Structure 1
Amino acid sequence: MIARRRPAGEIFRRVFGYLRRYPWFGVGTMLCAILTTLAGLAFPKLIQVMIDDVIVACRADLLGWVAGGLLAACFARDFFNFLRIQLNNRFEQRVIFDMRCDLYAKLQRLAVHYFDQRATGDLMTRVIDDVNAVERVLIDGIEQGTVALLTLAGVGTMMLVYDVKLTLWALLPLPVLVAGALVFTVTAHNRYRRVREATSALNALLHDNLQGIRQIKAFGREPHEAARFSAKAGQLRRAMLRVMGAWSVYSPAMEFAAWLGCVIVFWQGGRAVLAGEMTVGVLVGFVSYLFAFYGPIRQLHGLNQMFQAGRAAGERVFDILDAEIEPGQGESPDSARPAVAPCPMKELPARVAGKVEFRQVSFAYRPNVPVLREVNLVAEPGETVALVGPTGAGKSTIANLLPRFYEVTTGQILVDGHDIRAVTLESLRRQIGIVSQEPFLFNGTIRENILYGRLEATEAEMIAAATAANCHEFIARLPEGYDAKVGERGVKLSVGEKQRISIARALLKDPPILILDEATASVDTATEKLIQEALDRLMAHRTSFVIAHRLSTVRNADQILVLQAGRIVERGTHEELMELSGLYAHLCRVQSTALTIEQQLAELTSRAPA
């Protein structure tokens, strides 16, 4: 996803907003920078005194004083520089901590559709690499740039005090330096943007590759994936070469211009010394100031290169910080619009009864491509509503709309008579538990994953939930028990084990409304039986929406809704729908003839006499 181009002034303004949070660190850093610069200004003057008043004049009595002055100036410069570095390190780390935490907090408040449009690797690059680039360049660079400007001002003043005419000769290359910096600034930004985008694309591919490593190996696609990675890495290499190519011209050219000024000063100053118009000590002192003058200029050119990289990274960071949050995050959807007065959102009761209504609900993921069309349904508290239909009929979309992962295009969804768009997301989602087809476990322990349902639950409550979910027995057999690591996305557990842990998590949450999305898919018959028993306990006395391809799991539902092309085409109990001989009856007949050998054997075994 390409970041919106922003003016450099906007990036600086946003970064300064973070810097202003810690004014004393900023003031202290600048004060130490000034004192460091002032101490450094003493060196050329003391060198001049050493040459003219000590060596040339043979004043041995002044030698100790001048050497002591040089030592004192060196100590003062390095001491204040030490303090500056210490303060600046703490300053920038506090700022970058705030920026990264703000970025992460913002990601947590963005709508699901935001993540649908962006690669995970790209977002990770923005939170980690791009924020580091902003810190390294814009924050550290601002401090270094300020020190360089202070040094330029102080050294330039001393050069004018020494010799105005020689100072003008020294500044002769300055227009070339300024023009070169402007040309580089104007042309470099797009090159650095391409580097950040290529880095992000490479990280996204790598993340996707590592997530799908089993599929890559199963299909023997290692050479294919290596070629894809090589292509993305090649794009990054070419982008970096364009950046380095421009810098390889810019940097030596600016260095040559700076040394040209030094040569001019040596020429004019040497003539003045030979003519007796200037002492050797004054020339050496002036040249020392000149070197100190061009040093910060070189540093500013280097910082200009760094700033272009930081500006490109800052655009990507602030793109996330400026993204629109989910409606219902404590404010109304219209609160972002200046013309509309903010409208406070309501809180649902601590525990709702569980009545759910869809009134003329239509929805489209993309404009003019409707997925749901005028859906109407009522689920009374404690009822089980089964959603069935062919793939793409809209079953999962209904499940996504209830917790407001997406906003309805038209119509209303009500919970206990409250329009869910008028209540806070926190109070709405507190009422809903979700068990999905592909259960997600965090890379931690089994205990941590179950307690995710209710962090303050006791040990006894956790074990009771695990027992009800038919997973306590297999957990108890593990050497580490509940403290066993599950691996990334629960890779150390089977699908059935992960599913039962996710059911235990939902049981611990104890919500009045449940969404079960293909919860018994992709497991064998024996595991399905364990999961179904756990689901039966979970669904008891709760309003449940069940999405299942295995129609045997929805036979006992209070009402079955049959969807086709985004519309509810049939509704009723299993018996009522079978009598209709419509789509539901057809699906049942198709599925009854598609039993696997394992399922047929299991059914025969269950009917065999003991």
Structure 2
Amino acid sequence: MHSENATIKSRGTAEFLRRTLVYVKPYKISAVLNILLAILTMASYFTFPRITQFILDEVVVGAQMTLLLPSILCLLGAFLCCGLFNALRILVNSRFGQNVIFDMRRELYARVQSLPVRFFDRHASGDLLTRIVDDAAAMHRVLVDGIERAVTTFLSVAVILCVLLAKNALLTMFALVPLVILLAGTLWYTATAHRRYRRQRAAIGAMNALLMDNLQGIRQIKCFGRQAYEVGRFAAGADGVRRSVLSVMKVWAAYTPAMTFAGSLGMVLVLWFGGPMVMDGTLTIGELVGFLFYLTLFYEPVGRLDGLNQMLQAARASSERVFDLLDTASEEHAHRGVVPLKTPVRGEVVFENVDFSYDGTRPTLQNICLHALPGQMVALVGATGAGKSTLVNLLPAFYPPTGGRIFIDSQDISVLSLESLRSRIAVVSQDAFLFNGTVRENILYGKLDATEAEMLCASRAANCHDFIAALDDGYDTRVGERGVKLSGGEKQRVGIARALLKDAPILILDEATASVDSETELLIQDALQRLMANRTCFVIAHRLNTIRNADQILVMHHGEIVERGTHRELIGRGGIYARLSLMQSVDIEGGGPTEEKTLQSVSP
């Protein structure tokens, strides 16, 4: 995880602002209204020092008590306007902010959906979750709150500076002396903060990745009694976050008080030089108090600039992780196919001298040649790591071949659009993945607009209608995360129903009857026979009794097809498949080695 984050491209503040401001464009009116209300709030608040000076000099010192009530009412009105404008600003700001972060998260999630399978092989789900949720939120804060704060802060600084100069230019010069220290401190913080925030975001991403991994594997953790070990691993990840946050806050804890102290020097200097001016009559007490009020209002936004800078540096670090995701080429960009698959699809599949490598150096598949006629069943046999799953993963273009070509109905899949290609292929894997929703939603995933009658027909054909009907809420029963509330055989049959509903002409079965009892296997096999009818099927199997009727059996070893033929032909040759068939027959009768060990033992 750390190595992945280390490769994230560093981006400057200018690029960060240029790219993030794009999200504000659709809501320009809201952004302007938000800033306008903030300015009105600030203007209402700025009347307080002027009214206070008037009350002190004209009402109290001038003994004009008849003006006291109107002056107090004006002061109250100023505060009332300030509160009203601020309430409206909060409403506009909230709507504006939620619209912006919605757009950002929607774009990020859409990009994640478009990324190639290879990307997810290299990136942890928890880290991607952190980018979509936390990093997007950090960017949203600087866009919504940061823009408002920046405009109102610079505007208020400029306005109050003009007021201070108009009131007393000499005192203003003394008050501005600490700005040199504040500017130097801000430049130093900006130059050093980015690295600390990058480490913090990387540490949070790594911790979330570990957390998601552990939550998904909680049964394995408990099964092996590794709770204490995993607590230690998570503690190490959380400690990385703790240390990175403390690194940020340690500097912030020294920087903020130092800047506050520097700002307070201005007040001290004004009192030092303004006190004698009051005593010699060149300045009234009301004017001095009013000047101090305005000076407080001057340094308050100057102090906000430090917080704005901190927000900017944190958002910049987050933006690098977000833009790294957005800048990753989508699989449509890499695939480039746009031609639709010709209909009706017959299901003829040809692999022509296909090679493939995951890392570009070690070959996973070598010179794969096969020809599946429409409606044929092609079985793939071989030990773990032989390349069976990789071969079938090339068919729906989860990975592009590094050599050779793949055809469906004489069309090269590299020129086909991914949507058109994958809509014609259904997959039933060894561990059917179910979403954390209802049984109905999981079956309808095969065809979202299917009618109730179509869904029930698919369920009955998959031999799962009876057990679903017996559930407390029937088809509206929630299956839990990854279908945890259903047994393995039940999940498998729901997966078959989903594939039946999709009604694709090409079918991939990846050890679909593994790890179930004999009775459930019969139900699944019966459902699979209906599913496979009139479809071109690729079946990965270890149990040879399930593929005896296959039109072609391909025996794979180290990424190559070393034997091919029907069951009868391969038995007659007396090769690997024949020895494997004989050993499995003995194993079934005598309780010998497992099928996987048998496959390993007969490989050349």
Query: How does the TM-score come out when normalised to structure 1?
Result: 0.94
Give the partner amino acid of 2:347: G
Tell me if structure 2 keeps the 8 A contact 1:351–1:431: no
- Which of 350, 354, 368 aligns to 1:375? It is 368
Residue 499 of structure 1 aligns to a residue in which SS?
helix
- 1:595 to 1:143, Cα distance in 2 relative to 1, 3 A: farther
Give the 5 Å matches for 1:435-514. 435-514=428-507
Determine the structure 2 residue equivalent to 1:159. 164
Give the 5 Å matches for 1:300-315. 300-315=305-320
Determine the structure 2 residue equivalent to 1:47. 52
CA deviations on 1:207-232 (whole Å, 9 max, x unpaired) are 11111111111111111111111111
Query: How far apart, in 2, do the equivalents of 1:286 and 1:80 lie?
Result: 25
Determine the structure 2 residue equivalent to 1:603. none
Residue 508 of structure 1 aligns to a residue in which SS?
helix
Query: Is 1:94–2:87 an aligned residue pair?
Result: no
Determine the structure 2 residue equivalent to 1:349. 342
Query: Is 1:592–2:585 an aligned residue pair?
Result: yes
Where in structure 2 are there 5+ consecutive unaligned residues?
A: 594-604
Q: CA deviation at 1:63?
A: 2.0
Q: CA deviation at 1:333?
A: 4.5
Query: How far apart, in 2, do the equivalents of 1:333 and 1:469 lie?
Result: 34
Per mean C-alpha deviation after superposition, the further-off stretch among 89-98 and 587-596 is 587-596
Give the partner amino acid of 2:503: D
Tell me if structure 2 keeps the 8 A contact 1:413–1:420: yes
Determine the structure 2 residue equivalent to 1:184. 189
Determine the structure 2 residue equivalent to 1:528. 521
Question: Which segments of structure 1 move beyond 6 Å, counting only runs of 4 or more?
Answer: 596-600
Determine the structure 2 residue equivalent to 1:131. 136
- Which of 187, 190, 213 aligns to 2:218? It is 213
Give the partner amino acid of 1:372: L
CA deviations on 1:43-69 (whole Å, 9 max, x unpaired) are 211111111111111112322332232
Tell me if structure 2 keeps the 8 A contact 1:38–1:154: no
Give the 5 Å matches for 1:297-336. 297-327=302-332, 333=335
Tell me if structure 2 keeps the 8 A contact 1:332–1:422: no
Q: CA deviation at 1:350?
A: 4.7
Tell me if structure 2 keeps the 8 A contact 1:137–1:307: yes
CA deviations on 1:406-446 (whole Å, 9 max, x unpaired) are 11111111111111111111010000000001110011111
Tell me if structure 2 keeps the 8 A contact 1:37–1:150: no
Q: CA deviation at 1:599?
A: 11
Query: Is 1:276–2:281 an aligned residue pair?
Result: yes
Query: How far apart, in 1, do the equivalents of 2:583 and 2:122 lie?
Result: 36
Query: How far apart, in 2, do the equivalents of 1:265 and 1:593 lie?
Result: 100
- Which of 24, 37, 50 aligns to 2:29? It is 24
Residue 453 of structure 1 aligns to a residue in which SS?
coil
Give the partner amino acid of 1:248: A
Tell me if structure 2 keeps the 8 A contact 1:433–1:515: yes
Tell me if structure 1 keeps the 8 A contact 2:348–2:372: yes
Query: How far apart, in 2, do the equivalents of 1:596 and 1:96 lie?
Result: 63
CA deviations on 1:160-186 (whole Å, 9 max, x unpaired) are 111111111111000110111111111
Query: Is 1:13–2:6 an aligned residue pair?
Result: no
Query: Is 1:566–2:559 an aligned residue pair?
Result: yes
Query: How far apart, in 2, do the equivalents of 1:323 and 1:139 lie?
Result: 26
Give the partner amino acid of 2:188: V
Query: How does the TM-score come out when normalised to structure 2?
Result: 0.95
Q: CA deviation at 1:138?
A: 3.9
Determine the structure 2 residue equivalent to 1:171. 176
Query: How far apart, in 2, do the equivalents of 1:351 and 1:290 lie?
Result: 79
Q: CA deviation at 1:357?
A: 0.8
- Which of 251, 255, 259 aligns to 1:254? It is 259
Q: CA deviation at 1:332?
A: 6.8
Query: Is 1:404–2:397 an aligned residue pair?
Result: yes
CA deviations on 1:52-91 (whole Å, 9 max, x unpaired) are 1111111123223322322222222222222222111111
Determine the structure 2 residue equivalent to 1:235. 240
Tell me if structure 1 keeps the 8 A contact 2:374–2:536: yes
- 1:508 to 1:22, Cα distance in 2 relative to 1, 3 A: same
Give the partner amino acid of 1:522: S
Where in structure 1 are there 5+ consecutive unaligned residues?
A: 335-343, 601-610
Give the partner amino acid of 2:140: E
Query: How far apart, in 2, do the equivalents of 1:156 and 1:591 lie?
Result: 90
Per mean C-alpha deviation after superposition, the further-off stretch among 54-63 and 85-94 is 54-63
Q: CA deviation at 1:578?
A: 1.0
Residue 555 of structure 1 aligns to a residue in which SS?
coil
Residue 556 of structure 1 aligns to a residue in which SS?
coil
CA deviations on 1:309-346 (whole Å, 9 max, x unpaired) are 2221121112111111003xxx6746xxxxxxxxx711
CA deviations on 1:100-126 (whole Å, 9 max, x unpaired) are 011111111000011110111111111
Give the partner amino acid of 1:368: T
Query: How far apart, in 2, do the equivalents of 1:70 and 1:596 lie?
Result: 97
Q: CA deviation at 1:40?
A: 2.2
Residue 131 of structure 2 aligns to a residue in which SS?
helix
Query: How far apart, in 2, do the equivalents of 1:599 and 1:579 lie?
Result: 24
Tell me if structure 2 keeps the 8 A contact 1:201–1:232: yes
Say what the alpha-carbon RMSD is for the aligned residues: 1.6
Residue 387 of structure 1 aligns to a residue in which SS?
strand
Tell me if structure 1 keeps the 8 A contact 2:438–2:475: yes
Residue 369 of structure 1 aligns to a residue in which SS?
coil
Determine the structure 2 residue equivalent to 1:577. 570
Query: Is 1:263–2:256 an aligned residue pair?
Result: no
Query: How far apart, in 1, do the equivalents of 2:219 and 2:213 lie?
Result: 12
Query: How far apart, in 2, do the equivalents of 1:402 and 1:588 lie?
Result: 28
Query: Is 1:360–2:353 an aligned residue pair?
Result: yes
Residue 593 of structure 1 aligns to a residue in which SS?
helix
Query: How far apart, in 2, do the equivalents of 1:209 and 1:594 lie?
Result: 37
Residue 435 of structure 2 aligns to a residue in which SS?
coil
Q: Percent identity?
A: 54
Tell me if structure 2 keeps the 8 A contact 1:332–1:345: no
Residue 463 of structure 2 aligns to a residue in which SS?
coil
Query: How far apart, in 1, do the equivalents of 2:449 and 2:238 lie?
Result: 46
Residue 45 of structure 1 aligns to a residue in which SS?
helix
Per mean C-alpha deviation after superposition, the further-off stretch among 56-65 and 429-438 is 56-65
Tell me if structure 2 keeps the 8 A contact 1:138–1:307: no
Give the 5 Å matches for 1:538-549. 538-549=531-542
- 1:479 to 1:72, Cα distance in 2 relative to 1, 3 A: closer
Determine the structure 2 residue equivalent to 1:225. 230
Q: CA deviation at 1:571?
A: 1.1
Residue 339 of structure 2 aligns to a residue in which SS?
coil
Give the partner amino acid of 2:193: A
Give the partner amino acid of 1:254: M
Residue 358 of structure 2 aligns to a residue in which SS?
strand
- 1:76 to 1:566, Cα distance in 2 relative to 1, 3 A: same
Determine the structure 1 residue equivalent to 2:596. none
- 1:272 to 1:455, Cα distance in 2 relative to 1, 3 A: same
Tell me if structure 1 keeps the 8 A contact 2:383–2:557: yes
Give the partner amino acid of 1:61: T
Give the partner amino acid of 2:181: V
